[in-house]
Structures are given as structure tokens and as C-alpha cells.
A and B are shown apart, each in its own frame.
Chain A
Amino acid sequence: MITYLVRRLLAAAGVLVLVALLTYWIFFALSPDPAVMICGKTCTPDRIDQIRATLGVDQPFMTQFFTFLGGIFMGRTYGSGEGAIECAAPCLGFSFQTNQSVLDMIAERMPVSITIAVGAAILWLLIGVSAGVISAVKQGSWWDKAAMMVALSGISLPNYFIALVLQYVLVVELQILPFPSTPAFGEDPLFWFQSYIMPWSILAFGYASLYARLTRANMIDTLGENFVRTARAKGLSSMLVLRRHALRPSLTPIVTMFGMDFAGLLGGALITETVFGLNGVGKMTSDAISKNDQPVIMGVTLMAALFVIVGNIIVDVLYTTLDPRVRTKVA
């Protein structure tokens, strides 16, 4: 188990370096000169050279890349002398547009993204999985048909579209909810809940639809398994057959998917945050993209990759406790 974990972590580190290299190379090779952009309109060649030196973009590609990597472990200093900017380890880069280290920017907005992700995850797991289970058990019933129809719309409707429709109906027309925002929980829990409920629901709708469909399909497969027949042949109650023998095999793959989806969301619910104007990591990313703030895009990409890769490892380790067959193989 320990060797397995060590191996996985080493592989993950390798993948992360690869992601970093790839992202860095794309920006290095393809983007317009960041110095020109920072310099603005009143620019002289001298000034550009100076900015280039500060940014380190006058160096060859590999040197730049290793400076960046080094910054993550040891921190780095942009420029020298009076105007030098310190970026402490782990330095994910520095945004010259906001004059902030990328890590600080992410840390500042992380609570909002986590709140959105956790709330939505609770909703979609509860609704998606239970709807899928009920549909599978009552296959062909009106409930099944209705639930699957809703799920079908859920995966076909662009969430930015329903987000605005919902906002129009509930906030503008009916005025039963405030415009979504990101208040602190402590001050007014009810207002906090009302502000977040729409982003949660919109985000959860798509995922819940997906999970309902997948749970239903898994569950129907499992109910056809021989061991479910054995369980019935033993004289177990149908509730017990369902709960003990059918549910666990059906939900194990869902756990994997959930781990990956949730980890992905920690990198920011980009669309939902942007549409509702919630100041999380996702909104920050989309702002950075529109302003072409490369260090931020780079930093967020790396951090999102880190979440997904770590999520992947956690899910795999979890799997070894959930599925005895995998456990035997790993141990």
C-alpha cells in the first residue's frame, strides 16, 4: 500500500511538471509579448527591455521554465534593486496587472469557490443518486420516465442559459431571491443561503442529471447480476437485497466520478461564477483571460491540474477500501 502510494505520488509529480511545461510552452510560443502589453501605449524600446528583464522573458525558454519551477519551491524575485518584487515560495507567478502574487489571488477567492462546489456537490449527489436509484427500481414507471426526461434536459441545456433564465424569473420578475452574491455566512445565514442557492442549483442540475442517468444504468446492470438473484434466493427482503447487494456495486463507480468532478470544481466553477458574477477562482480566471493576464491563467491551470491529480489519487485509494478485489491487488 505504501509503495503503491509513493509510486502514485511520484507519477503525479511527473504529470504536474509535464502540465507546467506544456502550459508554459504554449504561452511562451504563442502569446504576444507580455512586456508590450504591460508597457502600454506610451512605450519606449528601453522601457520594454527593462520590463522584459524584470519578467525574465528575455531569457531562453528552458531557463524561464526552470526559474518558474524554482519559484514554486524556493520563491523568486522579479527584477532587481529598488523595484524588485518578492514572491515567496510557493510562488505560482506574479500578476503585474493586479500587482499581486497569483497564489494570494487564488487564496483570496478560494473560499467562494469551495462554498459553491460543496453546496452544489451535496445537492447533486442527493438528488442525482436517489433519482437514479428510484428510476432503476421503478423502471418504466411514470416516475422513471419523468425523471429521465428532466435529466435529459439537464444534460442538454447549457447551464449559463438556464442560469440567466432562472435569474430573470426568480430575481427580476418574482423577486423571491436576491441577486446571487458572496456574503459571509456569519452575518446573516439566511441571506447567505438565499444568495448561494441559485448558483448551487444551476451547477448541481447538470451534474445531478448526469449522475441520475449513470446511477440508473449501473443499478439496472447490477440488478441483473447473478449475485442479486442469489440474494433473492436466500430469502432476503427486497429492501435488503437492494440496499446491501445492489446499491454498493452500483455506487462504487459513482464515487470515482464524484471525486474527479469535485476536484475539477475546486479549480473554479468557471461558467457559473462568471454568469452570476461571483468572485471565485473561476471568475478570476475568466477575467484574467479577457485581460490576457498570463501568469494568472498559468497559475490557475497548474493549480486546477494539481487538484484533479490529487483527487484522482484519493479516489484510487478510496477504491481500494470500497472494492475488495482492488484491495487484494494493491496490498
Chain B
Amino acid sequence: MKNLDAAGSNSLLEVADLEVSFASSAGIATVVQGISFTVARNETVGIVGESGSGKSMTSLAIMGLLPPKAKTTGSIKLHGEEILGASERHMRKLRGNRMAMVFQDPLSSLNPYYTVGMQIAEAYKAHRGGSMRAAKLVAVDAMGRVGISDPQRRVDSYPHQFSGGMRQRIMIAMAMCCEPDLLIADEPTTALDVTVQAQILELMSQLQNESGTGMLFITHDLAVVSQVSQRVLVMNKGKVVESGTTEDVFSTPQDPYTQALLDAIPRIDDPIRALKKVEMGMVSEA
């Protein structure tokens, strides 16, 4: 495996030998098996893999949101500061502030009982303080920036009154309202229609250009990852099987699993070729 420490010491995020395991009555299931990578400022790193490859567990481990029974070892550094094993109190100051996350399904990720404005505002207020009213103004502004028209009025609407794409925009507004250094996007476009997907991806890269946020983009979709990320890691069964610049990985894949994944994409220039089956590699995720 090639080392990804190209960015060197000015990395925003450094993950080294990260291992996540769950103990159950059936034994210990290790869902992430010693992976290492870095993310620099203004850079997007993609993690590709199928469900159960450990990619979502990696993102939750960075945020410190794994369930208590998960055992995590290795090292996760944000701005050179070790955050793996940091106190919950300290992690809370980082979450939503220095690092934020956008999830796969925006409908279930938003609380149906509160207005979207309130949900964005409380993220801002948690870290910047001030009154709820002031935070609400920030929410209106954030909604405008993610391309929601008439934000003054929509700020008091509930999640179910928005379309899927709009909900994801709200999630992004919520994640970006404290201008985090690192944004983790876990399958942010998977639940959306193709046309909406493109809009959301464009929005994300536009926001990244404005703020210089480093981004960890997790997806099973190779087409998406090739669009957004400069570097990519391919994960299978909890391990990184291949990594490098997106261009290298896509043009000259080294690992058979990556080759199989790439072969599975239907191509316009090769319409007759039958789809190949990817060997399923499932890790028993307890």
C-alpha cells in the first residue's frame, strides 16, 4: 500500500493505523483494520467501497460518534492534535465547529419536529453562543448561501415541506454554518435523483472553494468520486486496498478489487461488453 502522506505535516486531518472493532457474543468483529490517510486544507479525499467496507465507520470514528461499545485504536489528528480518545466534552467543541458532517439520508437526518431554521441555528448557537434570534439570522444567511430561495420565509418551514435536494442543502448549510475546517460527507448524494446529485456536488465544491475546507467524501459511486476528489482510497473488508491520486487510481488500477469495481461501470465507448460481477466482500458488521 502506498503511503498517502504526500501533504506532509501541514495536513488538516491525519489518520494513522485506525482500527475499529465490535465485541459481540459471536466474537470480535474488526470493521476497520488499520487504515491511514491524510486530508489537507482545500483538498477533497474520496473513500470508495461498497456497503460494509468500513468507510462509514471510519467517518464516525473521526467524529467520535461511534456507539460506546465500539473499540477504536490508532491515531486521529486534527491540526496535529490527537482527538482519538479525547474527552466527550472536548469532542463536543470540535463537532459541528471545527469538523462537521453531512449524512446520506437528509429526511431522517433532520428532526421532523423542529423547523429547519431552528435546527441550523442551534448548531451555530452551540459554538458561537448568542441569542436564538441572532442564530436564526445566521441560519437565514446560511440557507441563502446553499441556494435556497426566499430563505426568510423558508427558515420557519419543517423538513417534510422540502424536497430531497433542498433537505440536503439544509444539511450542508447546517454543517457549514460554523465554517468548519473539515467536512465529512457520508454518501451525501446517494439518496438523491441524478440531476439533483449534480447540483449538490457543484454546491459542495463551490462552498469548498470559498472557504478552503478540507473534505472527506465517502461514497460507493465511482463516478461521483472521480468528479469531486483529488485523491482517493479504495476500501474493501475494512482495509485500504488502493490509494493515490484519483487520476492514477482510475487510469491504472493496481489492485484486482479496484479493477473489478472499475470494470463494473458500464461505458459508453464499450456498449456491448457484458457487465462483470464484482466479487462481494462483506465484513460482518455487528
Contact = CB atoms under 8 A, between A and B. Distances in A.
Closest 8 CB pairs of A and B: A235-B96, A235-B95, A234-B96, A234-B123, A226-B108, A227-B111, A324-B158, A226-B109
Contacts of B174: 230, 234
Find the residue from A233, A244, A325 having the highest chain B CB count within 10 A: A233
Contact of A226 (B105, B122, B160): B105
B92 interface: yes
Interface in A105-162: none
Interface string B140-181: 000000000000000000101100000000010010000000
B65 A225 contact: no
B65 A232 contact: yes
Size category of the B interface is 20 to 34
B276 interface: no
A264 interface: no
A233 B101 contact: yes
B110 A227 contact: yes
Contacts, number: 75
A235 B94 contact: yes
A227 B108 contact: yes
Interface range, A side: 20 to 34
Interface in B80-111: 88, 92-97, 100-101, 103, 105, 108-111
A50 to B, nearest CB: 65
Nearest to B92: A235
Nearest to B89: A237
A117 to B, nearest CB: 29
16 contacts: A225-B108, A227-B111, A227-B112, A230-B103, A230-B111, A230-B171, A232-B95, A233-B96, A234-B100, A235-B95, A235-B97, A237-B92, A249-B113, A324-B112, A324-B113, A328-B160
Given A248-B113, A323-B113, A325-B112, A229 B95 contact: no
A213 interface: no
Contacts of B161: 328
A245 interface: yes
Interface string A220-242: 00000111011111111110100
Contact of A234 (B95, B108, B114, B158): B95
A278 B177 CA distance: 61
Nearest to A229: B65
B63 interface: yes
Overall SS of chain A's interface: helix
Contacts of B96: 233-236
B126 interface: yes
Contacts of A233: 63, 65, 95-96, 100-101, 103
Question: Which of B88, B96, B100 counts the most chain A CB atoms within 10 A?
Answer: B96
Nearest to B174: A234
Nearest to B88: A238
B170 to A, nearest CB: 11
A173 B183 CA distance: 68
B262 to A, nearest CB: 31
B65 A235 contact: no
Given A328-B160, A328-B161, A234 B109 contact: no
B79 interface: no
Given A226-B103, A325-B158, A235 B93 contact: yes
B127 interface: yes
A323 B160 CA distance: 11
A235 B109 contact: no
Nearest to A227: B111
A177 B171 CA distance: 59
Given A229-B109, A232-B65, 18 more contacts: A226-B108, A227-B108, A227-B109, A227-B110, A230-B109, A230-B110, A233-B95, A233-B101, A233-B103, A234-B95, A234-B100, A235-B94, A235-B97, A236-B126, A240-B126, A248-B113, A323-B113, A324-B112
